[in-house]
Structure 1
Amino acid sequence: MQRYFVPKGMWNEFTIKITGDDVHHMKRVMRFKAGDCIICNHPDGQAAICRITFLDNGVVYADIKEWLKQDAELPVEVAIAQGLPKGDKLDLIFQKGTELGANTFIPFQASRSVVRWDEKKQEKKLNRLVKIIKEASEQSHRNKLPNVQYSKSLKELIDFSDSYDMKLFAYEEEAKTSNYQSFGENLRKLKPRQRILICIGPEGGFSEDETIALKASGFQAVRLGPRILRTETAALYALASISYHFEELRCE
């Protein structure tokens, strides 16, 4: 059943109102008609099966038929801080990261990021990424839409990080040592409902100054397996590992 995220102001006790791009999708892509059922997600994470009662080019109305008890969110709150990569890699990270359960994405301007966002590019890019997140959340039946918060520098990211219970950064030098700190060892210390921030550098990794600043601010350097991963692979490795650890391994 097709799922849509509906803003808070569009809900009342018995009905919902849908406007914007979702109306085009429902009418032109899905070819819905009055009487068809959809799933609508409230911003608080609840979802309901709704039956369409009215549909035209600008608005859709639907009656709430049944509230669902499904919860597809990770047991821990994961934020991915991603140094701006080249090309369309960020699109992939946001799309697949949403499917894998990330709660927050923080693209940031790293010292070795080739890409530079001015204010005009920043707004355009963020709007595109929010759309990618919404579509991926609907496809993967998420309960909530992940947040996006851009940081103009590593310092700004560090200032934002104080509210997290665990702060890690993927560091390729950890994969080259015998006395390394593994990602799995840190996950075993994390408890359900805690918050973890994972910081990943761009293609060139972190500079020496950034590494020093991260460690001084309470970030633990970890390796993500024995191989050196591309920047667009690292976040997905981390999220898949967290999902397995908290959602599959503990169910065995």
Structure 2
Amino acid sequence: MHRFFVEPCQVGEKEIRIQGSDVNHIKNVLRMKPKEEILISSGESTEYTCYIEKIQEEEIVAHIMYAQKAGYELSSKLYLFQGLPKSDKMELIIQKAVELGVCEIIPVASKRAVVKLDKKKEEKKLARWQAISESAAKQSKRMYVPKIQGVKTFAQAAEYAKTLDVVLLPYELAKGMEQTKEIVGNIQKGQSVGIFIGPEGGFEEAEVELAVQKADARVITLGKRILRTETAGLAVLSVLMFALEE
């Protein structure tokens, strides 16, 4: 069954009004007809099972059949601070991170990041990245669309992360797998967790020190093998999803 997202203000007592790009998608791509059933989430914990009542020019009116509390989301909020990678790797990272339960992705322009985005390029990238997040959220039955933040410097990212309960920073020079297992094992369900992942060139030592000082980051190892930037974050998210799933 297809899933769509709306704002809470679009949800009425007995009907939901779908607007924006999803109208064209329902009408002209999926070619759905009245009486066909769909799932709708308004970004809260309630999932609505509906059938299409009216297909209009600028909105779809869906009749609410029933609502239920859906336990698809982790109780912990996971934040991925991703060093800007080359090529289109960010698209893959966003898609898979959303599937693995991330609540927000923060692109980080760290010192060794090769990619440099001016304001115009950033706006286009963010629109594309947010669309990928929405598509992945629909596919994986997320209750909301994870937000892709604007690009931050490393210092801005560290400042943003300091309010989180736990901040993890995998670092290729870190040692002590037992300590890493202990740190991850002590994360409690419901705690907010930030994960800092470097670009292809990794982090500079000064960046690691800044994250430790400003955000109380815990420097961890992911093992003896060096993981690509598009692999490292997904590896950490997979471990956290398994550990924190209700």
TM-score strictly above 0.5:
yes
Whether 1:235 and 2:233 are equivalent positions in the alignment is yes
- Which SS does the other structure have where 1:58 is aligned? coil
Query: For 1:246 and 1:194, how far apart are their aligned partners in 2?
Result: 9
Query: For 1:198 and 1:48, how far apart are their aligned partners in 2?
Result: 32
The gaps in structure 1 that reach 5 residues or longer are none
Question: Contact between 1:182 and 1:224, CA under 8 Å: does it hold in 2?
Answer: no
Pairwise CA distance, 1:138: 0.4
Greater mean deviation of Cα atoms: 131-140 or 183-192: 183-192
Question: Contact between 1:27 and 1:57, CA under 8 Å: does it hold in 2?
Answer: no
1:149-228 alignment, distance < 5 Å:
149-174=149-174, 177=175, 179-180=176-177, 182-217=179-214, 218-228=216-226
**Aligned residue in 1 for 2:78:** 78
Q: Which amino acid aligns with 1:168?
A: L
Pairwise CA distance, 1:170: 1.1
Query: For 1:95 and 1:169, how far apart are their aligned partners in 2?
Result: 21
**Aligned residue in 1 for 2:134:** 134
Greater mean deviation of Cα atoms: 135-144 or 71-80: 71-80
1:1-40 alignment, distance < 5 Å:
1-40=1-40
Question: Contact between 2:106 and 2:152, CA under 8 Å: does it hold in 1?
Answer: no
Greater mean deviation of Cα atoms: 96-105 or 183-192: 183-192
Pairwise CA distance, 1:241: 0.6
Percent sequence identity is 36
CA 1:136 to 1:35, structure 2 compared with 1: closer, same or farther past 3 Å?
Answer: same
* CA displacement 1:97-121 (0-9 Å, x = unmatched): 0001001111011100100111111
- Which SS does the other structure have where 1:134 is aligned? helix
Question: Contact between 2:78 and 2:103, CA under 8 Å: does it hold in 1?
Answer: yes
**Aligned residue in 2 for 1:50:** 50
Give the TM-score, by structure 1 length. 0.92
Pairwise CA distance, 1:57: 4.0
Question: Contact between 2:45 and 2:70, CA under 8 Å: does it hold in 1?
Answer: no
Query: For 2:42 and 2:193, how far apart are their aligned partners in 1?
Result: 25
Displacement over 6 Å in runs of 4+? none
Pairwise CA distance, 1:243: 1.5
The gaps in structure 2 that reach 5 residues or longer are none
Query: For 1:92 and 1:182, how far apart are their aligned partners in 2?
Result: 30
Question: Contact between 1:181 and 1:221, CA under 8 Å: does it hold in 2?
Answer: no
Query: For 1:170 and 1:98, how far apart are their aligned partners in 2?
Result: 20
Query: For 1:138 and 1:154, how far apart are their aligned partners in 2?
Result: 31
Pairwise CA distance, 1:11: 1.5
Number of aligned residues:
245
* CA displacement 1:177-236 (0-9 Å, x = unmatched): 4x4565432221111111010100000000122122122221111112321100000111
Query: For 1:55 and 1:186, how far apart are their aligned partners in 2?
Result: 52
Give the TM-score, by structure 2 length. 0.95
